[in-house]
A = this chain, B = another copy of it.
Amino acid sequence: MSDISTMAAAAKIASRKMAVLDKDLKNNALKQISEALTASADRIFEANREDVRIATEQSLETPLLKRLKFDEKKLKEVTDGITSLISLEEPVGKTLLHTTLDDGLELYRVTSPIGVIGVIFESRPDALVQIASLCLKSSNAVFLKGGREAEKTNKVLAEIIYNSGVSAGLPEGWLHLITTREDVNAMLSLDKYIDLLIPRGSNAFVQYIMSNTLIPVMGHADGVCHTYVSDDCDKDLARKVIIDAKTQYVSVCNATETLLLDESLKDSFLPEIAAALRDAGVEIHGDSSVASILGCPEADEWHHEYLDYKISIKLVSGIDEAIDHINTYGSGHTDAIITTSEEKAEKFMDSVDSGSVLVNCSTRFADGFRYGFGAEVGISTSKLHARGPVGLEGLVSYKYKLYGNGHIVADYSSGNKNFKHIRRNV
């Protein structure tokens, strides 16, 4: 317990030094890290083979084993990721607002790092590299907790990244790797030192983190995403988009889990889309009408994140019921409408209370890379701070800088002077 607390205190001190690092130093550190990872490839692969061997003995499931594997291809991906991160705009020190309060009294709102960020991620060791480099680029110190299955790989990766970072001028204590569940629990109480937690993982796990800490949490517990099809839709377009939204990659948070159809479509479109979904290997769970029309099982609840070749289908009386259903049973993640009516599209997008609202395209687009952010920190369903797919801007805060020349408030409260409040272009 006290160990983690000591590490966190050290990270806090390091974070103050990270805050003033020059962008060239940071980009050079990223370059050094990338080169050190490539140079240490054999050591990393060896540690990873050991992790994979143990996981195989313990009969880890195949998808997890696949995620655990760190080979030439994964190494190339993470070093390419670092190269592209180096080319991204410097996220710290950007002026967001400039106002002349009065002659010689200049106010700036400037981006600044958050401080110490705790990231808890699953089995993929490549996530460690990605997260560490994102935190470095945004001048934050970082606490990392990876999956137990990847322990040996993570240890080697963290050591290489930390050491080459320090050699390149990053402060001691800028990165810490923790390994046990007890350490995670200890971390949850360190709101004095840790400014933000980013948990990635299962619904239950993220929910556990969110419910057991006073540290702000960025992320999402679940992605119960909807596609609603309005009676005026283009049916070919609807079919194409729904198949993509459900089946293009089923195990991700932005895949559509519930299909809402206008009830007027129950004869003209429901059989057709059901056949297309079944052809794609999707099992359908319907409301009672859908179940009797299609001869499929009834859905037992509407807040279901399948992450699988399964979908819930419900008939709704129109856009209002669709919006209510989504706001009641959704998770505020990503929801789409298929319609030819601009008016309905706007109503849906304004009324559905989710991070991403889409018209006539696949929910699978809701992603930092596809949105053009260059790097993705995660997807947030919170409405405070960053929402939706989060790029580097989710890892920065801002501060106000006010430059004066002996200005005092008494002059303004007495009426001797008046504020000018001239907004400047930035």
Beyond known contacts A105-B365, A114-B383: 13 more, CB 8 A cutoff: A195-B384, A216-B382, A244-B408, A244-B409, A244-B410, A248-B410, A356-B401, A357-B401, A359-B402, A360-B403, A362-B404, A388-B398, A389-B400
Partner of A214, one of B210, B366, B421: B210
A99 within 8 A of B: yes
Nearest chain B CB to A375 CB, angstrom units: 13
With A105-B361, A359-B402, A365-B402 as given contacts, are A409 and B350 in contact (CB-CB < 8 Å)? no
Stretch at the interface among A141-149, A233-241, A269-277, A306-314: A233-241
A399 within 8 A of B: yes
- A interface residues, Cβ below 8 angstroms from B: 16, 19-20, 99, 101, 105, 107, 109, 112, 114-115, 195-196, 210-211, 214, 216, 218, 234, 236-237, 240-241, 243-245, 248-249, 323, 327, 345, 347, 349-351, 353-362, 364-366, 370-372, 382-385, 387-389, 397-410, 412-413, 419, 421, 423
**What B residues does A361 contact at CB under 8 A?**
105, 402-408
| 7 A–B contacts from the bound complex (CB under 8 Å) | A101-B370, A107-B371, A244-B410, A356-B400, A358-B401, A360-B406, A384-B385
Query: When chains A and B are docked, how far (Å) is the Cα of A78 from the Cα of B407?
Result: 28
Task: Assess the B413–A248 pair: CB atoms within 8 A.
Answer: yes
Task: Assess the A399–B372 pair: CB atoms within 8 A.
Answer: no
The 8 closest A-B pairs by CB, nearest first: A361-B404, A244-B408, A372-B421, A383-B397, A364-B409, A237-B406, A361-B407, A384-B385
Task: Assess the B371–A99 pair: CB atoms within 8 A.
Answer: yes
